[in-house]
Structure 1
Amino acid sequence: MVGCQKYDIQNLRGSKMKLSILPTILLLVLPYGYCIKSLNVRQITGSAENTDLPFWDQDRQVLYAVNLNKPTIYQWDYKTGNVTSIELAQKSIGAVVSVEGSSNKLVVLADRDVLKVEWDGKKNNTGKIQNMKKNGNFEEKDEPAEAKVGPGGKLWLGTYQLEEGPGYNFAKGKGSLYALTFQGGDTVTIEKKLSNLTFPTGIAFSPDDEHFYLVDYPSNTIQKFVFDKENYKLGKSEKLFDLADHRQARGKVSNIVVGTHGSLSLSLYNGSSILDIDSNTGKVKSFITLPIHLPTGLEWGGPKNDTLYVGSSTNSLPKKYLELNAFSSGAIYAIENMGVTGFSSRRLKIN
C-alpha cells in the first residue's frame, strides 16, 4: 500500500471528479510507508445506508455485499457492472458467502437463522431462500456481525447483542465467536468458541492457517491467536495492534483482510482511511486516505486479486455533509493500481 497518493476518482458512471472539490482526500495524517504515483478509486455501486461485508467470488467474477440497515444482499457483476439485489425477511444480516462448485448458491447469516439462498443474480428479488436445520444454537439475543470461512470449510461467525433501552448500544461482554460446520444436506452444527466479546467485526486467517486474527470493534485492537488447524481450536493470543499507540490516527478499527505481501489491511470507521500493518510485528507499513468518511468492510478481489473493495456507511453523517460531498457514502468502492495483491475470502464447501 501507499504513504502518499495521487487520486483518479471516478463516480458510478465513470466520469472523473475534480480534485478541487475533494480536498480532504489529500490530508495524509500518518507518516508511514512509501509512494506510488496514482491510485484509481472507483465507485462501483449506488449508495445504500450501510454497505458492508463484501465477498468476492473468483469463479463467478462477482462481488457480493450487504446493507446492514435493510437486510439486503447485493451482487455486482465485474464484467457487466450490473448491480442486482435480493431482500430478506429477517431484521439483521451479518454475512454472505458463496458455495464452492455452484453457480447460484449462497449461505447467509441473518438474525439467528442460517439461510441457504439459491439466486443467480440476474433479477432482483428472485430465487429460493431456505432455513437450514441447526444442531445447536446461538444465544437468544445474538445478532450476526461478521463471518469468514476457515480451514476444513468451517464458517467462523462473530455475534453481538444490543443493550436494553433506547439507542443502539452494543452490550459489553455479550458478543461471541462461533464455528459452524456444514455436514451436508441442510444441517449445520453450531459450536461456541469464544465468549465475553462485544462486537466482533473483523475475522481473518493467516495464509498458512496457523494464526487467527480478531477485531472486537470497541477495543480498537487486533488480537492474534495461535490456531490449531487440525483440531480447529484457538490457542494462545497476543495483542498484535492497538490504535491507541498511533496518536495521529482517528476512528475505530473495523474490518481486516490478509494481503499476499505479509500484511493485514484494516479499515478505520469514522477515520476515512485504511492502514496496512505487518502481520508479525503489528507495525504500520503504509496507509491510504479515502474519499469516504465511514469505511466498513474490506475484500480483495478482481481477476488478479489486486483490487481492494471497500464498503461504506451513511450512519450518523449529517444530511448537509451528504449533500455537499461529491462522492457517495454508502456505496462500494474499488481501489485499483495498488501494486500489491491479497487473498479473497474462501468459498464454503457443502456436500
Structure 2
Amino acid sequence: MDLLSLIIISLILCSSANGVEIDEEATILYKIEPLPNSYAHLGEGPHWDIETQSLYYVDIDAGKILRYDYQQNKVYHSKIKGIALASFIVPIEGQSGKFVVGSGRSVIVVSWDGVSETSKVDRVLFSVLPGEKYVVYRFNDGKADPRGRLFAGTMRYEGDVLNDRSSALYKYEKGGKVTVVKTDVGISNGLAWNEQTKKMYYIDTSDCNVKEYDYDFDAGVPSNPKVVLNLCNSNPQDNLWPDGLTIDSKGNLYVAINNGHAIYKVNPSTGIVLLEIKFPTKQITSAAWGGPNLDILYVTTSASPDLPAQAGSTYKVTGLGARGLPMSKVQL
C-alpha cells in the first residue's frame, strides 16, 4: 500500500526485529502527506508557533531556516547570511521576527520576516568551547523548556561521530547565564518536558535510548536519569538510533528513528511502543505537534548523504487521535 494514502494499522501484539515490544492498543487510522516544497537536505529542529500558525524548522548543512504557513499551505525558505550551519530554530518570547538558531559552536539571534529568501544575524547569544580552534563540534538539537530556558547540545560532525563522548548539553537562562547540564554526551538530540509529572526527556543518540529525568521546573535542573526506551541490540549493527522527540497531552512520547523509517509512540511508564508510524523514507529526524488544534504531527526527515526522492521532505500526519502541548519560546 502507498504510504501516502490512508494507512490502516490493525490490532497487533508483537516484537520487532531488534526486540522492541510493540503493543498497538487499538486500530489506528492515520494519513501521511508531504508538505509542498518542503525539501531540506538535512531537515531538523521543528517548532510550531501558535501565534503565527507556522512550523519553523531548519536545513542544517545549507544554513537555512524554513517556515510552513498553515493557512497558505506554503513553505518559505531563507538562507541566513554568512552562516554555514543552522541546527535548530526557536522563536524569542515577545520579539516578533526574532529567533535563536544553533550555528556551529554558537547560538545566534536571527531576524527574519518569515517570507524573505535571506535572513540576517543580529548577534551571537553565546558560544561554547571558545579558543578551541580545531574542534569539529556543532550544536545539534535545541528547545526551550516551559519556563523559557534554552537547552541545546552539541555533537562531533567529523570523524568517529557515534563513539565520541566529548560533547555536552547546555542551558541558557534569561539574563545570559549559560551552564553545562550534562557531559559525556555523544550526539545530543531530542528534548521534551511534562509539567504534570515533573519529568524531562532527553535523547543522546549514541546511547540508542531515551532517558527520563526528574525535573525541577523552578530551578531548571534535571536529576535521577533512567532509561524508558532501549533501542540497543546485542549486535550493534542492528541498533536503532533515536533522534528528535516530542510529547502529547497524555504524556506519550513520539521518538523519531533516524535509521528506521518510523516514529515510535511510546508510553514512558511502561517502555512499550504503542504505535509505529511508518514513513516512505529512512531517516526520520524529529517531530512537533501543530495545526489549530495541535493534532497534526509534523515530521522532518533527512536526505543525507544522497537518499532517493521523498527523503528530505517534511510530512504531516493526521488522524492519530492525539494532541500535543504548546511549545515554548526562549526568554532572553
TM-score calculated relative to the size of structure 2: 0.85
Pair 1:335 & 2:323 matched = no
Query: Partner of 1:3 in structure 2?
Result: none
Counting only pairs closer than 5 Å after superposition, residues 39-188 of structure 1 correspond to structure 2 as 39-88=31-80, 89-126=82-119, 128-134=120-126, 137-138=128-129, 140=132, 141=135, 142-162=137-157, 167=159, 169-170=161-162, 172-183=164-175, 188=176
- Structure 1's consecutive aligned runs of 4 or more residues displaced over 6 angstroms after TM superposition are none
Quickly say closer, same or farther: Cα 1:225–1:50, change in 2 above 3 A: same
- Asked if the contact 1:150–1:156 (Cα under 8 Å) also holds between the matched residues in 2, the reply is yes
List per-residue Cα deviations over 1:263-306 (Å, max 9, x = no partner): 10101112101111112222211211112221111111111100
Query: Partner of 1:277 in structure 2?
Result: 266
**CA distance, structure 1, for counterparts of residue 2 and residue 51 of structure 2:** 30
List per-residue Cα deviations over 1:76-124 (Å, max 9, x = no partner): 1111123222223233222100122333111112112222222111221
- Asked if the contact 2:106–2:125 (Cα under 8 Å) also holds between the matched residues in 1, the reply is no
Give the counterpart letter for 1:263 in structure 2.
N
Aligned length: 313
Q: Give 5+ residue unaligned stretches, structure 1.
A: 1-5, 11-15, 20-27
- Asked if the contact 1:7–1:41 (Cα under 8 Å) also holds between the matched residues in 2, the reply is no
SS of the equivalent of 1:69 reads: helix
**CA distance, structure 2, for counterparts of residue 333 and residue 44 of structure 1:** 9
**CA distance, structure 2, for counterparts of residue 7 and residue 157 of structure 1:** 37
What is the percentage of aligned positions where both structures have the same residue?
A: 22
Quickly say closer, same or farther: Cα 1:100–1:173, change in 2 above 3 A: same
- Asked if the contact 2:40–2:58 (Cα under 8 Å) also holds between the matched residues in 1, the reply is no
**Structure 1 residue 162 displacement after superposition:** 4.0
**CA distance, structure 2, for counterparts of residue 130 and residue 103 of structure 1:** 14
List per-residue Cα deviations over 1:136-188 (Å, max 9, x = no partner): 7446334101111014321001111245xxx56355211101001232xxxx3
SS of the equivalent of 1:92 reads: coil
- Asked if the contact 1:223–1:239 (Cα under 8 Å) also holds between the matched residues in 2, the reply is yes
Query: Partner of 1:228 in structure 2?
Result: 216
- Asked if the contact 1:54–1:299 (Cα under 8 Å) also holds between the matched residues in 2, the reply is yes
- CA RMSD, Structure 1 to Structure 2 (Å): 2.6
Query: Partner of 2:281 in structure 1?
Result: 292
**Structure 1 residue 309 displacement after superposition:** 0.6
Give the counterpart letter for 1:235 in structure 2.
S
Quickly say closer, same or farther: Cα 1:209–1:262, change in 2 above 3 A: closer
TM-score calculated relative to the size of structure 1: 0.81
**CA distance, structure 2, for counterparts of residue 122 and residue 90 of structure 1:** 18
Which structure has more strand as a fraction of its residues?
A: 2
Pair 1:252 & 2:235 matched = no
**CA distance, structure 2, for counterparts of residue 81 and residue 215 of structure 1:** 31
**CA distance, structure 1, for counterparts of residue 160 and residue 312 of structure 2:** 19
**Structure 1 residue 229 displacement after superposition:** 1.7
Give the counterpart letter for 1:309 in structure 2.
Y
Query: Partner of 1:213 in structure 2?
Result: 201
**CA distance, structure 2, for counterparts of residue 138 and residue 205 of structure 1:** 27
**Structure 1 residue 195 displacement after superposition:** 0.3
